[in-house]
């Protein structure tokens, strides 16, 4: 009798992990399809990249990720793996911006600006970790090589005229160009005013410069100051609250701060508790959890 129960339990675990494997494979196939379609759109529109992609080819990356899941599914068939042991074996939290991270798009001076500016926009304080410790600059850097950075989300053909925000994006500059031209202009301005680049300024001086950019000052030739500030603020908030799979919010601190449960499978055990705080911590798409 006990042997039959163990066999049924092993089969149940096997079925669960086979389902999870299939879902994971489908998710990766969808992601690869989206990347392929995005790149195809950019080539069709004649977009020119500042440098070639250095990422692993999508097919090879898909196979690499798929192979890492096979041992888990195979172990499940033996009844030797349980949800408890799997959770205990999960790796420790990774730092938001590793000192070994090499930016894909930004150069050294631009990266130093991004680290300093993000830290001033969402600094670490009593409420929790800040933008840099949560990986927001990594999120922004990755977005520059995605369709968003190349302007693949908008109609990028003339005429380019000033218009109200309700009419959508009107600039001829794509986000990656706004950052490149804008950061260069800000560093030149800081060099003239403080004899140092933005990243080398004191925190109060950095706040002063950011406040000026928000007011569309000074007047840059290459790009409006407020356009750079608005894009930087928008991307910083997006990276801080996005799923960690995109590079930011690495410890799920922002989700925990606002009480967002994340990508949990269901909430059937909590539907009878209206107007009560959800007691469980957030879970990311890749099953990352808070401590």
Q: What is the pLDDT of residues 184-208, one digit of tens each?
A: 999 999 999 999 999 999 999 999 9
**Residue 50 · residue 102 · CB < 8 Å:** no
Of the residues 28, 61, 89, which one is the last residue of a structural domain?
Answer: 89
Is residue 160 domain-shared with residue 224, that is, in the same domain? yes
Q: Is residue 9 part of a domain?
A: yes
**Residue 235 · residue 139 · CB < 8 Å:** yes
Q: Is residue 128 part of a domain?
A: yes
Average pLDDT, the chain: 76
Is residue 54 domain-shared with residue 188, that is, in the same domain? no
The rounded distance, in Å, linking the Cα atoms of 174 and 152 is 9
Is residue 65 domain-shared with residue 143, that is, in the same domain? no
Lowest-confidence range among 164-168, 228-232, 241-245, 256-260?
A: 164-168
Q: Is residue 265 part of a domain?
A: no
- Domain housing 238: 108-254
Q: Which residue stretches of the chain are H helix?
A: 2-45, 58-77, 83-88, 108-121, 136-144, 175-194, 203-214, 225-241, 253-258
The rounded distance, in Å, linking the Cα atoms of 165 and 186 is 24
| pLDDT at 241 exceeding the cut of 90 | yes
Per-residue pLDDT at 15: 55
Is residue 81 domain-shared with residue 112, that is, in the same domain? no
For 15-25, what is each residue's pLDDT tens digit? Answer: 555 555 555 54
| pLDDT at 57 exceeding the cut of 60 | no
| pLDDT at 153 exceeding the cut of 80 | yes
The rounded distance, in Å, linking the Cα atoms of 231 and 210 is 12
Kindly report the CA angle at 285 between 134 and 77, in degrees rounded to 5? 130
Per-residue pLDDT at 34: 46
Q: Is residue 66 part of a domain?
A: yes
Is residue 18 domain-shared with residue 122, that is, in the same domain? no
In total, how many domains does the chain have?
A: 2
Per-residue pLDDT at 232: 98
For 61-115, what is each residue's pLDDT tens digit? Answer: 443 444 343 333 333 333 333 333 333 333 334 456 666 789 999 999 999 999 9
Assign 3 a pLDDT band (cuts: 50, 70, 90): low
């Amino acid at each position: 009798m006990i042997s039959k129960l163990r066999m049924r339990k092993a089969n149940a675990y096997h079925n669960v992990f086979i389902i999870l494997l299939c879902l994971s494979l489908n998710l990766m196939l969808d992601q690869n399809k989206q990347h392929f379609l995005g790149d195809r759109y950019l080539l069709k529109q004649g977009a020119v990249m500042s440098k070639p992609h250095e990422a692993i080819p999508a097919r090879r990356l898909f196979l690499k990720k798929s192979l890492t899941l096979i041992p888990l599914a195979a172990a499940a068939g033996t009844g030797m793996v349980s949800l408890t042991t799997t959770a205990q074996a999960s790796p420790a939290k990774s730092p938001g911006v590793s000192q070994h991270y090499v930016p894909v798009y930004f150069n050294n001076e631009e990266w130093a600006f991004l680290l300093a500016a993000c830290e001033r926009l969402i600094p670490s304080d009593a409420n929790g970790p800040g933008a840099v410790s949560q990986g927001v600059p990594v999120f922004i850097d990755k977005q520059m090589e995605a369709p968003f950075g190349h302007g693949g989300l908008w109609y990028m053909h003339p005429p380019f005229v000033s218009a109200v925000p309700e009419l959508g994006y009107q600039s001829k500059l794509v986000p990656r160009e706004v950052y490149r031209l804008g950061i260069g202009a800000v560093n030149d301005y800081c060099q003239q005013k403080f004899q140092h680049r933005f990243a080398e300024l004191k925190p109060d001086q950095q706040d002063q410069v950011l406040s000026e950019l928000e007011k569309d000052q000074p007047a840059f030739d290459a790009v409006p100051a407020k356009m750079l500030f608005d894009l930087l603020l928008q991307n910083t908030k997006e990276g801080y609250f996005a799923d960690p799979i995109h590079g930011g919010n690495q410890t799920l601190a922002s989700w925990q701060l606002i009480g967002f449960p994340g990508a949990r499978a269901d909430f059937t055990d909590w539907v009878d508790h209206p107007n009560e705080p959800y007691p469980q911590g957030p879970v990311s798409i890749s099953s990352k959890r808070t401590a």
